[in-house]
Each structure stands twice: as structure tokens, then as C-alpha cells.
């Protein structure tokens, strides 16, 4: 992820437009990206400064590339690189020994004469002999604790040049979000996944239902009057790739700009062509859910239509998204929650959630391995071994009166 000083953006009629490299207008950058990846792939043993200079040379004849963009590429490449670091203070100790020995022969010159008798090469050889190491080895480790002189020992890289450019485009939007006052997300699909990612990022949020299957999630930003911290800004920025990996969303953020002294708008949607490095979220959380959905099919059974995660229940900051909603032709709605995988902590949280929303019609399906570990709740759950049977679900649904 980029730092705020590497952000590049334009401003247009109250909107912020983060820097973006498009295939049509920046076609040449695909070749640049491949060359940058080759520099790092073949750069094992080189210092960070050498690698950064080589990346800068790639853009030597490119008029449309500000220095900040080059620095941003270097940061993204460094993020997936491993450098050797001096964590035991060996470089500092080595410098003390070398500088102490050299100080006694100061000044050093390339070639001795009547005034200056100590040649640099000869003194280096003497110091190397005293320390029992070659000068090349000493030179490599002398400043190993300085970040510019860290040496590359591994490079995870990116799958392709296009993937590096895609990461750059997302990273520039992330950098803009460091100054967010608020962010609002309208979700029509995968809102449970979006909500889960937001909770993992520890974002403060409120939820509003705006229509059938449509929800609005509002997040307070790091530049809000309630809270302004770099850590929260980073959390909001980290949430963005997860959001981009989902479908059916639209986002609007209010950004506080320090340089211009006023707020600007940032708008995005799942149709804007940004690509996340995160894989698309799985449609189902478990094989049990997937199996029931496939068996049930898209058509109603005995008047009951199965909808995947079609309801969000919330009370304050406590949110519950049941796995399924069954909707009958006569207007009945029954929520269904499946409890398969479990830990004692998970069961306790699940129990507290179900009790908090027990005024709703909830059909509970519990794996037989859970047994009696889940405390007693209103209604009798369906017990299953490897999968749910459609007939068992239909039979239990009929017990819910209109």
C-alpha cells in the first residue's frame, strides 16, 4: 500500500480523481511494468538504492511520468520484496572498527605524494587484513543497517505486468482514502461479504435498508470530527481491495484535502474497471449451504422461494445476516441459519446473536457434531450429518404459520 506522500490526484469540479493508468491512454506502461519486474527478478543481491535507480532509468525517455509515480512503483515493488536487514547492530560495530582504523591515517588519497602518504587502496587492504575479511565483504556490510543499502534476497513479485498496473491503480485510490471524512457503500449483492470485510477492518459503521435486497453502509472516516488517526485511515484503505473484489456495489467518499482546504468527493462502483489482487469471494460459506441451494433450485418449492443472504438484521452495532431467507407466496418470510463448523467461542457468539434476534422467524440447522453444545433456543433445529435434505426443510417450514 502507498503512503500519503505518494498519492497523485487531480481535482475537477469538487471531485478528486486519483491517478490511473488506462490501457488506451497509457499503453506503453505495460512494457514499463514488465521491465520493472525483470529488474527485481534479476536483482538479488543488489541494494534498494540500485534497484530504485534502475526503475527510474526505465522512465528516462517517458515524458508522461512524474517522479512521484516512479516512487510509487518502487514502493509497490518493495512491498512484495524481501531485503536483508541488520537487526543485531553488526553494521554499526563494523563501522566503528573501520572508521577508527582509518582515522589514524587520515586523510586518505587515491595516490600518495609528499604531503599525503596514505593511499586509500593500501589502507583498505590493511584494515581488511586486520579484520580477517575481504574489503568487498566489508563494503557490502558497512551500511547494511541503512534502508537504502538493504540488499534484495527475495522477490515474490506480481503475476504479470498488468497485475502490477492494476495494483498501482487501486493503491492510488487507497491513498486518497487516507483523508476520508466518511464513506458510504450501497450494496445490492454480496453485502454480507462486504460487511464481513468491514468488520475485519474494524471500521465504525451504520446500516440502513434502502429497499428489497438493497442496503446502505456508512463508515466514519479517519478525517471525521469524531476520530482522526493514521491507523484508522490505513484500515479504511485496506478495506478497499476487498470491496473491489465484490459485486454489485457503489461507493461515495468525502475527502478532506489539506492542500486545498476543502472537501471533495470520490465516487466508485463495481463497474469502474478496477481490479483487486484479492480473489473474488466465494458465493457460499460452506458446502452445506451450496448443496442446499443447488438441490432447491431457482424455482419455488411448495410456494417457498430460497434467497441467498437476502436479509440483514441489525440492532445498534450488532448485525446478523442469515444464510438464507425463505419467502412464501402468501407473504411469510423465514430466516435460516446453518451451524456446521464450530469452536466453543464460535458457538457462544452464535448463541448470543440468535438470542438477540429471537423475535424473528429463524429456522436453525445444526450439524450432528455440534450435539448438545449449543444452548437451548426457541424452536427445534434441524439436525444434519453431511448435508440438508429438502424434504426436512420443507416439513419444518410448514410449521411457521402465516
Q: Residues 129-180: pLDDT tens digits?
A: 989 999 988 888 888 888 999 999 999 999 999 999 999 999 999 999 988 8
* pLDDT in the model for residue 328: 93
pLDDT value at 16 more than 90: yes
Q: For the residues 313-318, what does the mean pLDDT come to?
A: 70
Q: For the residues 87-115, what does the mean pLDDT come to?
A: 86
Phi/psi for 291 (5° steps) reads -65, -40
Instruction: Mention every residue, 6+ apart, whose C-beta is less than 8 A from residue 106.
Output: 118
Least confident segment among 16-20, 53-57, 75-79, 184-188: 184-188
Q: For the residues 338-344, what does the mean pLDDT come to?
A: 72
pTM of the model: 0.73
Residue environment code for 333-345, b if the CB has 16+ CB neighbours within 10 A, otherwise e: ebbbbbbbebeee
* pLDDT in the model for residue 47: 94
Q: Domain limits of the chain?
A: 4-81+158-269, 90-144, 287-397
In this prediction, residue 260 has a pLDDT band, given cuts at 50, 70 and 90, of: low
Helix (H) / strand (E) element for 217: namely strand 214-220
* pLDDT in the model for residue 154: 97
Q: For the residues 301-321, what does the mean pLDDT come to?
A: 80
Distances in Å between the alpha carbon of 200 and those of 194, 220, 316? 10, 15, 17
Q: Residues 204-247: pLDDT tens digits?
A: 777 887 877 788 888 876 655 444 556 677 788 889 999 999 99
Instruction: Mention every residue, 6+ apart, whose C-beta is less than 8 A from residue 399.
Output: none
pLDDT value at 370 more than 60: yes
Amino acid at each position: 500500500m502507498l503512503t500519503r506522500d505518494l498519492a497523485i490526484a487531480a481535482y475537477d469540479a469538487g471531485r478528486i480523481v486519483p491517478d490511473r493508468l488506462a490501457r488506451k491512454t497509457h499503453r506503453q506502461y505495460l512494457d514499463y511494468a514488465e521491465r520493472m519486474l525483470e529488474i527485481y527478478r534479476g536483482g538479488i543481491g543488489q541494494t534498494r538504492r540500485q534497484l530504485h535507480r534502475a526503475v527510474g532509468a526505465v522512465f528516462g525517455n517517458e515524458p508522461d511520468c512524474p517522479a512521484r509515480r516512479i516512487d510509487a512503483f518502487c514502493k509497490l515493488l518493495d512491498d512484495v520484496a524481501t531485503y536483508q536487514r541488520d537487526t543485531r547492530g553488526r553494521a554499526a560495530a563494523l563501522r566503528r572498527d573501520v572508521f577508527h582504523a582509518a582515522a589514524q591515517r587520515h586523510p586518505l588519497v587515491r595516490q600518495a605524494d609528499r604531503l599525503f602518504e596514505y593511499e586509500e587502496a593500501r589502507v583498505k587492504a590493511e584494515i581488511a587484513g586486520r579484520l580477517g575479511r575481504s574489503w568487498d565483504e566489508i563494503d557490502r556490510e558497512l551500511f547494511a543497517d541503512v534502508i537504502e543499502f538493504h540488499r534484495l534476497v527475495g522477490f515474490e513479485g506480481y503475476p504479470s505486468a498488468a497485475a502490477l498496473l492494476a495494483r498501482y491503480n487501486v493503491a492510488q485510490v487507497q491513498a486518497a482514502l487516507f483523508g476520508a471524512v466518511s464513506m458510504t457503500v450501497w450494496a445490492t449483492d454480496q453485502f454480507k461479504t462486504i460487511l464481513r470485510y468491514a468488520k475485519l477492518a474494524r471500521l465504525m459503521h451504520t446500516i440502513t435498508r434502502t429497499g428489497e435486497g438493497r442496503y446502505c453502509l456508512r463508515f466514519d472516516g479517519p478525517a471525521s470530527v469524531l476520530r482522526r488517526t493514521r491507523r484508522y485511515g490505513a484500515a479504511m484503505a485496506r478495506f478497499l481491495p476487498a470491496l473491489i473484489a465484490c459485486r454489485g456495489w457503489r461507493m461515495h467518499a468525502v475527502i478532506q484535502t489539506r492542500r486545498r482546504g476543502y472537501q471533495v468527493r470520490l465516487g466508485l462502483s463495481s463497474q469502474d474497471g478496477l481490479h483487486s489482487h484479492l480473489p473474488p469471494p466465494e458465493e457460499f460459506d460452506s458446502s452445506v449451504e451450496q448443496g442446499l441451494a443447488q438441490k432447491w433450485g431457482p424455482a419455488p418449492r411448495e410456494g417457498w422461494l430460497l434467497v441467498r443472504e437476502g436479509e440483514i438484521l441489525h440492532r445498534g452495532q450488532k448485525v446478523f445476516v442469515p444464510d438464507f431467507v425463505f419467502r412464501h407466496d402468501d407473504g411469510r418470510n423465514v430466516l435460516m441459519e446453518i451451524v456446521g463448523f464450530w469452536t466453543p467461542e464460535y458457538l457462544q457468539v452464535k448463541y448470543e446473536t440468535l438470542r438477540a434476534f429471537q423475535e424473528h422467524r429463524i429456522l436453525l440447522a445444526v450439524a450432528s457434531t455440534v450435539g448438545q453444545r449449543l444452548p437451548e433456543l426457541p424452536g427445534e433445529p434441524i439436525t444434519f450429518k453431511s448435508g440438508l435434505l429438502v424434504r426436512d426443510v420443507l416439513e419444518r417450514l410448514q410449521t411457521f404459520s402465516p
